[in-house]
Amino acid sequence: MVREVGEERLPFLSYVKGRLVRKLRGGALVEVGNFGLFISMPERSVEELPPEGEEVFLFTFPVLRGEELEVYGFVSEAERRTFELLSSLPRIGPSLALNVLSALTPEELLAAVAEGDEARLAQARGVGPERARRILFELRRRVEELAPPVGEPKAVEEVVRALMALGLSRREAVGVAREAAREAGEGAPLDDLIKLALRKVGGG
């Protein structure tokens, strides 16, 4: 349920803007027009929502399961891109992808992939050591299939691969990664580089 628009891939339901009616465990009820829409969300994202009754803006990703349409919501575009990437992995559905994003931010997850940190990923509910190992393997394979630019520092290469895995074009990823590296300074931790890069592509 994604459409190619130029170099971008956009869900047909890309965002929701409306009044936050209720915060619930695992999601939120949002009034859009005269309809109440339940949107499944990572638990950490629910905690970031404004008070009930206020306006909320969520990036969304719809998933059709049989005859039922489920809508997943996120507080940043980077979070939505990461959800889409996780959901595309073998035997990793939307529910488990939400669990991962409830435990790790997008930058924490991408840093764990770059560093091979299984323990960090295994903290997510329903993951565990064996599944964490498989998720890291699949994500690492996706990332390594994207050749980095020649001559870039290793940290910049990692950021470029991570951004491309989230759907950015090579040209855009290289530009963002270089800018993040300049701002962070020499020797900055990979987590910081990824966090800066995601902010520059609308990650918040």
The rounded percent of the chain whose pLDDT value lies above 90 is 33
| Of the listed ranges 10-14, 91-95, 193-197, the one predicted with least confidence | 10-14
- pLDDT per position as a tens digit, 15-30: 899 999 999 988 999 9
Superfamily of structural domain 2-74: Nucleic acid-binding proteins (2.40.50.140)
Q: Where are the domains of the chain?
A: 2-74, 76-204
Statement: residue 150 has pLDDT above 60: no
- pTM: predicted TM-score of the whole model, two decimal places: 0.75
- pLDDT per position as a tens digit, 116-127: 889 989 989 999
181/65: higher pLDDT: 181
Q: What is the 3-state secondary structure (H, E, C) of the chain?
A: CEEEECCEEEECCCEEEEEEEEEECCEEEEEECCEEEEEECCHHHHHCCCCCCCEEEEEEEEEEECCEEEEEEECCHHHHHHHHHHHCCCCCCHHHHHHHHHHCCHHHHHHHHHHCCHHHHHCCCCCHHHHHHHHHHHHHHHHHCCCCCCCCCHHHHHHHHHHHHCCCCHHHHHHHHHHHHHHHCCCCCHHHHHHHHHHHCCCC
pLDDT value for 46: 94
Average pLDDT over residues 78-94: 87
pLDDT value for 193: 86
Statement: residue 3 has pLDDT above 60: no
| CATH 3.40.190.10 is right for the domain spanning 76-204 | no
- pLDDT per position as a tens digit, 159-203: 888 888 777 777 888 888 888 888 888 778 888 888 888 888 765
